[in-house]
Amino acid sequence: MTMDLSFPDFSEALKAYFMGDKPVALTALTRLAAEHPDNASVFIMLGNVNYSQGALDEALLNFRKAVELGPEYGHAYYKLGVCAFRAGLLDEAREAFSRNLTLAGQSHANSNYWIGLIDFFLGKDDEALESFRRLKEESPQSNFANFFMSQLLVKHNRHQEALVLLDELLERTPEFVEALFLRAQALRGLYKNFDAMQCLRKALQLAPNDKGIRMELETLEEVPSI
């Protein structure tokens, strides 16, 4: 489903929105919503304006109305998911992202990221790992996929698999301190303490005030390298 540009007032509202004149866009879209209560495009744009102004409750109502009117409108589900996530409504967010992924040709790769993140927060590690794996398949250069998959793999003692992802991530972002710290944990899990210390020293150079990295390094320095 595409935006309905069949009436001039909507085009003017879009122009105001994209030019950054949110009050004018809000006034125009509010009027249009009253005049065209069955038009999903109006409600998703009204939700966009609400969201951009931090009015989450109003944005949620309008995104919900948009998916009710246009259940084939994939972008509306994605917007609803992001808004619901920000509002702390994780079940509704997950459902919206899942619906987005079912719509052929309209799915958003980041829906897998959001579903993975929700499951990650809820401790559903297997489900989270699968979502991040799908994200990586669709977006091979996704740093998010590599980082969160690595965290989950280290947590479950799958250290060698984590190292492959972390090395790939650090090749792209060599000063990513959290990835260096996680890599040290994976190396330590493989009893490669010397390599882990080298990794922690590099992380400490980048973040000299990080007490967690310093404590981890000091702990390892007291243990014989293997």
- The answer to the question of residue 47 being in a domain is yes
pLDDT digits (tens, 9 = 90+) for 193-215: 999 999 999 999 999 999 999 99
Q: Does the residue 77 lie in any domain?
A: yes
pTM: 0.84
Confidence label for 5 from pLDDT (cuts 50, 70 and 90): low
Helix (H, G, I), strand (E, B) or coil at 7: coil
Looking at the domain assignment, is residue 133 inside a domain? no
Is there a single domain that holds both residue 154 and residue 98? Answer: no
Average pLDDT over residues 168-179: 97
**Does 131 map to a domain?**
no
| 15 & 88 share domain | yes
Output the pLDDT for position 16: 87
Please say whether the beta carbons of 40 and 69 come within 8 A.
yes
Distance of CA 155 to the CA centre of its chain: 20
**What H or E segment, with its residue span, contains residue 160?**
helix 159-172
Structure-block tokens of residue 69: 């009117």
CA distances from 50 to 2, 21, 43, 190 (A): 20, 13, 10, 50
Q: 83 with 114: CB under 8 angstroms?
A: no
Q: What percent of the chain has pLDDT over 90?
A: 80
Is residue 200 one of the residues assigned to a domain? yes
Task: Look up the CATH number of the domain holding residue 224.
Answer: 1.25.40.10
pLDDT(166) > 90: yes
Structure tokens at 172: 């792209």
With cut-offs at 50, 70 and 90, classify the pLDDT of residue 7.
Answer: low
Q: Does one domain contain both 66 and 166?
A: no
Domain that holds residue 217: 138-226
Mean pLDDT, rounded, for 75-99: 96
How far apart, in whole angstroms, are the C-alpha atoms of residue 49 and residue 46?
5
Q: 163 and 104 in one domain? A: no
Residue 104: left (phi > 0), alpha (psi -120 to 50), or beta? beta
Domain boundary among the residues 91, 108, 125 is at 108
Flag whether pLDDT at 83 surpasses 70. yes
Number of domains into which the chain is organized: 2
Same domain, 151 and 99: no
* Domain contains 150: yes
Q: What average pLDDT does range 91-109 have in this prediction?
A: 90
3-class DSSP string for 30-90: HHHHHHCCCCHHHHHHHHHHHHHCCCHHHHHHHHHHHHHHCCCCHHHHHHHHHHHHHCCCH
- Is the per-residue pLDDT at 158 higher than 70? yes
Q: What is the mean pLDDT of residues 81-92?
A: 96
> Of 108, 124, 152, which residue is a domain's last?
108
Same domain, 87 and 167: no
**End of a domain among 86, 108, 130?**
108
* SS3 of residue 124 by DSSP: coil
Whether residue 185 is contained in a domain is answered as: yes
Please give the pLDDT value at position 9. 79
Q: How far apart are CA 52 and CA 61, in angstroms?
A: 14
Are 91 and 146 contained in the same domain? no
* Residue 178 belongs to a domain: yes
Same domain, 103 and 142: no
| Co-location of 21 and 87 in the same domain | yes
